[in-house]
Amino acid sequence: MTARGPLVSLAAALLVLGGPRLAAAQYPIFDAHIHYSRPDWDAYTPDGALSILARAGVHRAIVSSTPDDGTLKLYERAPKIVVPFLRPYRTREDLSRWHGDAGVAAHVEERLRRGVYRGIGEFHLDAADVDAPVVRRIAELAAERDLFLHAHVDAETIEKLLVRFPKVRLLWAHAGMSADARTVGRLLDRFPKLWVELALRGDVAPGGRLDPEWRARFLRHPDRFMVGTDTWVTSRWEVVESATRDVRQWLSQLPADVAEQIAWGNGARLFPAP
């Protein structure tokens, strides 16, 4: 039996004995948004970072980093935990200019030869730059290798990416950060190759109470959402445990089968462990 099996079985037993809130507290978490970038290396060794995830009950995590060496440091230590995504940023400065730099495309192609990556991103992009040659090349690479693109973009840009690159699966970082639940639901209805992660979306459950609009979207598309933390600065590693507790609080307000999919099942299905 996999590690997930006994944990979910325990959650099912607790649902009978102690109710959904206690059961949700036992769900393993698939965190769809972790970074281990250069500033983090001085604060946390790879083992230290992995121990934080373990204490939070994060059993697997999508990791991307600036530079990519950080992701590989964690992956080499824990290949069954880390789902490596290749961030196209060689340095922090690439964040705003990567889409116009042919060297980024060459960098991505070279790194992909390692054969370990499950996606490209997280990257930032505006709608006006979707048709840039570097973006088109990276989308081609994703399609050729069946890799996800992890995009930190607004609703207009994610829709444009999905239309321009219909063969590519997209993971939408932060649900667009500001897109409301109805917009997210509309896009999920239209685009079967779109998945959504909810890092930093405090509006999902303000004050710990699950928002009715988000709840309706989770019930309609239980197989298309994942949770995440986003350790975008080093200090975010200090809140991984508390952020995961907050997620479990609102998961407990969903039907158990839906909560389990969002907490763990969707990520585990899309990115099975090696």
65 in Cβ contact with 88 (< 8 Å): no
Residue 19 pLDDT: 55
Domain 4-270: CATH superfamily is: Metal-dependent hydrolases (3.20.20.140)
How remote is the C-alpha of 145 from its chain's centroid?
Answer: 19
Partners of residue 89 on adjacent β-strands: none
Token representation of residue 86: 């290749």
For residue 146, what are its two tokens?
A: 């069946």
Characterize 57-67 residue by residue with b for buried, 16 or more Cβ atoms within 10 angstroms of its Cβ, and e for exposed. Answer: bbbbbbbbbbb
Residues of the chain with pLDDT under 70: 1-25
| pLDDT the model gives residue 24 | 61
- Rounded to two decimals, the pTM is 0.91
Full strand arrangement of the beta sheet holding 58-63 = 29-34, 58-63, 82-86, 119-124, 148-152, 170-172, 194-197, 225-226
Residue-level pLDDT at 214: 98
What distance in Å separates the CA atoms of residue 80 and residue 44, rounded to the nearest whole number? Answer: 20
> Are 243 and 48 a contacting pair, CB within 8 Å?
no
pLDDT at 1: 34
Q: What is the pLDDT of residue 16?
A: 46
Q: Give the closest residue to 94 by CA, choosing from 118, 131, 68.
A: 68
Q: Which residues pair with 208 in a beta bridge?
A: none
- Three-class DSSP category at 232: coil
Q: Percent helix, strand, coil in the chain (nearest 5)?
A: 55, 15, 30
Q: Are strands 58-63 and 82-86 parallel, antiparallel or unpaired?
A: parallel
